């Protein structure tokens, strides 16, 4: 069941990302991407979405667990923690703030649900039931903050240079830099809070597993 669940997650991620890459980048079916004139610029725009990157992280970590369930390199622990926290943020922010603003049709209705709801739920369920356990410690948590911070710097630097932002609540041109930074601060706090919650849950589940042995 564990391998089947990881396989399902990988398949859904690959299907959704590849489908949207074709529809948005090649066919230009995204209203903001239409402002981008070249395939390369459309590609960069699409893969600047936090949703896309968090789902790719989930897909990669699930693929590694599918191939080797006992893999425990430090970089993988960081990737796994980042993937779970970031996909959870994706689910919370989209369904709490953006769903009513996001008008999609056709095949994108399906991929949109996969990326923002189904894959996050399956990922969290997979981690809660199958682990792997005791991957989360203070060092892993500290390192895991770095990729999201790099993403934030990238979004603001690219936005400053191009005046293009993937999300309206990060658009410093429209909101003003101070408001955009307040939003980022709130999201970073949410990231740290989720890290801590996962750490506590992981320890509790690991202790429960030890007692049952």
pLDDT for residue 29: 67
Q: How many CB atoms lie within 10 A of CB 146?
A: 11
Distance CA 42, CA 26 (A): 8
In angstroms and rounded to an integer, the radius of gyration of the C-alpha atoms of the chain is: 18
pLDDT for residue 33: 57
pLDDT tens, N- to C-terminus, the chain (213 residues): 889 999 999 999 999 999 999 988 887 666 555 566 678 888 888 899 999 999 999 999 999 999 998 888 999 999 999 999 999 999 999 998 888 877 777 888 899 999 999 999 999 999 999 988 888 999 999 999 999 999 999 999 998 888 888 888 889 999 998 999 999 999 999 999 999 999 999 999 887 655 655
Which residue has tokens 């599918």? 66
């Amino acid at each position: 069941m564990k391998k089947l669940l990881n396989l399902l997650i990988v398949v859904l991620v690959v299907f959704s990302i590849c489908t949207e890459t074709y529809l948005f980048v090649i066919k230009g079916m995204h209203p903001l991407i239409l402002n981008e004139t070249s395939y390369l610029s459309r590609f960069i725009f699409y893969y600047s979405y936090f949703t896309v990157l968090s789902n790719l992280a989930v897909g990669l970590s699930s693929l590694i667990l599918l191939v080797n369930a006992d893999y425990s390199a430090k970089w993988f622990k960081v990737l796994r923690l980042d993937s779970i926290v970031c996909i959870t943020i994706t689910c919370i922010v989209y369904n709490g703030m953006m769903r009513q603003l996001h008008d999609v049709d056709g095949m994108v209705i399906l991929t949109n649900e996969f990326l923002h709801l189904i894959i996050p739920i399956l990922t969290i369920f997979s981690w809660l039931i199958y682990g792997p356990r005791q991957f989360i410690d203070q060092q892993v948590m500290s390192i895991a903050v770095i990729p999201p911070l790099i993403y934030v710097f990238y979004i603001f630097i690219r936005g400053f240079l191009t005046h293009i932002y993937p999300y309206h609540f990060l658009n410093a041109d429209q909101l003003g830099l101070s408001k955009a930074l307040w939003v980022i601060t709130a999201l970073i706090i949410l990231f740290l809070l989720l890290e801590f919650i996962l750490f506590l849950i992981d320890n509790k589940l690991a202790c429960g597993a030890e007692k049952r042995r």
